């Protein structure tokens, strides 16, 4: 039995992406954006409102960073999503987050978050159904404690946040459930039982 629930943003998990940029005066800003995703090997699309301060910053500076929020900084991450820099100009400073200027793009890297994508503005998509900022990823940096013994990002070490749109909650990534491009091979080898 199934139940109709109407129109919902029924995709889970949704990443908790921390989008950082500089305003015209060089003041850092950060926003929590759940609506974004990798859209090519070296690109990320962020579905932002056109009137956000962050959107204006990105259009002005032609650059931004996108970090993955983690459990250790859930308060800062949530704060960045409920407060606008337009309404609270000291939002970044009030969050207590620390930033350094990216060496690759004209945008801040937030030190506390474990993984950060440094992006150049590649395209703006503006249609009646969507407004998206697309960034070309020019570098990814990570805290050393987020890496495994081979120098690769290890999500089991970071407790990356995901957003639950059904109950407005934050959750952390869990243990590995399978292997991409391998777990399904058992079905390829399964004999046809017709």
pLDDT tens readout for residues 8-33: 888 888 999 999 999 999 999 999 99
What mean pLDDT is reported for the chain?
A: 93
pLDDT at res. 13: 87
Of residues 86 and 189, more confidence is placed in 86
Tens digit of pLDDT for each residue in 46-62? 999 999 999 999 999 99
Does residue 193 have a pLDDT over 70?
A: no
Does residue 192 surpass a pLDDT of 80? Answer: no
The DSSP symbol for 145 reads G
Domains, the chain, ordered by start: 14-189 (2.30.110.10)
pLDDT, mean of residues 137-145: 97
Burial 101-128 (b: 16+ CB within 10 A, else e): ebebbbbbbbebbbbbbbbbbbeeeeee
């Amino acid at each position: 039995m199934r139940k109709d629930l109407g129109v919902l943003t029924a995709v889970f998990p949704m990443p908790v992406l921390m989008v950082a940029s500089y305003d015209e005066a060089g003041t850092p800003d950060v926003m929590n954006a759940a609506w974004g995703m990798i859209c090519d090997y070296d690109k990320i699309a962020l579905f932002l409102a056109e009137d956000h301060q962050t959107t204006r910053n990105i259009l002005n500076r032609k650059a931004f960073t996108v970090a993955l929020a983690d459990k250790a900084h859930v308060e800062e991450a949530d704060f960045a999503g409920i407060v606008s820099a337009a309404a609270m100009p000291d939002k970044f400073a009030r969050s207590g987050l620390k930033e350094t200027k990216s060496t690759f793009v004209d945008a801040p890297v937030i030190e506390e978050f474990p993984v950060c994508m440094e992006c150049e503005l590649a395209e703006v998509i503006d249609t009646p159904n969507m407004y998206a900022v697309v960034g070309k990823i020019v570098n990814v940096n990570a805290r050393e404690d987020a890496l495994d013994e081979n120098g690769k990002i290890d999500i089991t070490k970071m407790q990356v946040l995901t957003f639950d749109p059904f109950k407005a909650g934050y959750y952390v990534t869990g243990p590995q459930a399978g292997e991409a491009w391998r777990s399904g091979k058992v079905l390829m080898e399964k004999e046809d039982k017709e």
